[in-house]
Amino acid sequence: MDVATPLVSSSSVAEALTPRQIGLILFALTLGGFAIGTSEFASMGLMPNMVASLGVTEPQVGHLISAYALGVVVGAPLLAILGAGWKRKTLLLALMGFYALGNLASALGPTYESLLVFRFIAGLPHGAYFGVAALTAVAISPPNKRGRAISLVMLGLTLAILIGNPLATWLGQVIDWRWVFAFVALIALATATLLAIWLPRGIDGAKAHPLDELRAFHRLPVWQALGIGAIGFAGMFAVFSYLAPTMLQVTRVAPAWIPLGLAGFGVGGVIGNFVGGWLFDRVQLRGAWIVLVWATAMLLLFPLMAQTLPTILLATVGIGLMGALGPILQSHLMDVAGDAQTLAAASHHAAFNTANALGPWLGGMAITAGLGWTSTGYVGAAMAVAGLLIYAGARQTLRARYATVEAACPSR
């Protein structure tokens, strides 16, 4: 049994919203997630184009991916703390505006070194946006549908893998990869505009103070949940980051097939996103165990499945199902974080982008060491197993907390 205090946040403003208004707000929040996801994953599909344009190697483009992820890791807790006292609507608009500027700079960056800096800057508002967006979605949704509400916000990320990233890859092949980041900036501005119109003021939780968030954040269950995401999810990025050259060098298909391979991750991610919300609403954190066991099996099979086009496409869908881990851990964090709601919700994305940095780095090390493009599957499986070990520790902590509650309240 998971012991947590479910987050229930409502206000008279939220309760007065009609289903249509709620739908429009969720659409705007999801659109922001789509912009962020497209930008985050674009470099993976555009890797061959960026290699040719910038005169660098595939692992160096992997460093651009890691630079963005590092920006998320740094920016998520920092901006969540700095924005703790802000109104949610104001903070969301500011974060989307910041994101638009970071991506415009990425589109204009003249050199590889400048791109490293601009990708880092673009990543800074990522985690804080998703954290505040998740809290906003929960605030306007019934308490028993928290997992579903969060999965809808996260849907933008998975749709970016399914639609945005393949389109970005195609656009980079037809025109130029820089236009992708310019279009992301436009989508971010459109998100800010829609939120300014549709999101009413007053969808806020209790007044938060930075020091209170930091004090409440020192809880073992919070760090264990972040560890599961940071380590266990790295396996997907180890494979995803080098999918384009793997399809070219191992599967030996034409570049035109790469968007379809990336879309496979998107199909798995969309399905996994809804499955994750469904699992959390029924079995809570135990859903993470199911996802990680599945991921381990699929990642171990990846080197074999990468040999032919039909099987590598099937593998991308199967590995993409790891996206189910997102809604599970996001919802669990909001339960165990106490007063650190904004910081915990934002740090969830810092953890997943630690995975986004760790996966390409470890995968790149294996490739550079001469182990081959498909070695990323074995690297990923090892990370998923490590995530399972952290999960086992988290379950033990929850059981200990439950035993303590039972001893204090035997009538429960």
pLDDT band of residue 144 (cuts 50, 70, 90) is: low
CATH of the domain at 81: 1.20.1250.20
**Taking a C-beta distance cutoff of 8 angstroms, is the pair 81, 213 a contact?**
yes
State the residue range of the domain holding 311. Answer: 12-408
Contacts of 310 (CB under 8 A, 6+ apart): none
pLDDT of residue 5: 44
CA distance 280 to 288: 9
> Which of 141-145, 314-318, 348-352 shows the highest mean pLDDT?
314-318
Selection from 364, 339, 273 nearest residue 56 by Cα? 364
Q: Can you give the pLDDT at residue 3?
A: 45
d(C-alpha 315, C-alpha 189), whole Å: 35
Q: Residue 412 pLDDT > 60, yes or no?
A: no
State the pLDDT at residue 258.
86
Would you call 350 helix, strand, or coil by DSSP? helix
Flag the least confident range among 27-36, 111-120, 230-239, 268-277.
268-277
What average pLDDT does range 169-195 have in this prediction? 92
409 vs 384, which has greater pLDDT?
384
Between 272 and 336, residue with greater pLDDT = 272
Closest to 384 (Cα-Cα) out of 316, 325, 333: 325
Residue 6 lies in a domain: no
- Please indicate, yes or no, if residue 257 is contained in any of the structural domains: yes
Q: Say if 296 falls within a structural domain.
A: yes
Residue 74 has pLDDT above 80, yes or no: yes
Q: Predicted confidence band at 9 (pLDDT cuts at 50, 70, 90)?
A: very low
pLDDT (0 to 100) of residue 310 = 95
In a domain, residue 203? The reply is yes
String of b and e for 362-394 (b: at least 16 CB within 10 Å)?
bbbebbeeeeebbbbbbbbbbbbbbbbebbeeb
Domain annotation covers residue 2? no
Does residue 329 lie in a domain region?
yes
Using CA atoms, how far apart are residues 168 and 194, in angstroms rounded to an integer? 23
Least confident of 5-14, 63-72, 102-111, 318-327: 5-14
Percent pLDDT > 90 in the chain is 39
Task: Provide the domain count of the chain.
Answer: 1
> Which residue would you say has higher pLDDT here, 3 or 21?
21
Element (H, E) at 143: none
Residue 1, domain member (yes or no): no
CA atoms within 13 A on the CB side of 90: 9
Examine residue 3 and state whether it is found in any structural domain, yes or no: no
Look at residue 28 in the predicted model and tell me its pLDDT: 94
Neighbours of 270 (CB within 10 A): 20
